[in-house]
Amino acid sequence: MSYTFIDNSEKIAIVESQIRTIEYSKYTNEIAKIAEQAKSAPDAITLLELTNQIAEKDRQIAALNASRAALLPEEN
């Protein structure tokens, strides 16, 4: 896609902001998983859901990092 008013440095900043947002969410899931594991009777379904959510966040971050890399200037 072509954008008239957004240059690559702005696009990179937007992508990095989105990555940061996902990382916050991922960290929240990791903390929730630690808290669930600390229970006397951790719920296996909750742990599985949190694990899956963390993996999903990793996939999203990887995709956005690839998008970010495509926007970086090529080095000679």
Residue-wise pLDDT for 24-74, tens only, equals: 999 999 999 999 999 999 999 999 999 999 999 999 999 999 999 999 988
Distance CA 76, CA 57 (A): 33
Domain tally for the chain? 1
Distance from C-alpha of 21 to C-alpha of 43, rounded to nearest angstrom:
27
**Domain ranges, residue 58:** 8-71
pLDDT of residue 3: 86
Cα gap 53→13, rounded to integer Å:
25
Report pTM: 0.89
With respect to residue 1, please indicate whether it lies within any of the assigned structural domains. no
Does a structural domain hold residue 2?
no
Per the domain annotation, does 41 fall within a domain? yes
Among candidate residues 69, 68, 65, 67, the one with its CA nearest the CA of residue 57: 65
Q: What is the mean pLDDT of residues 12-16?
A: 97
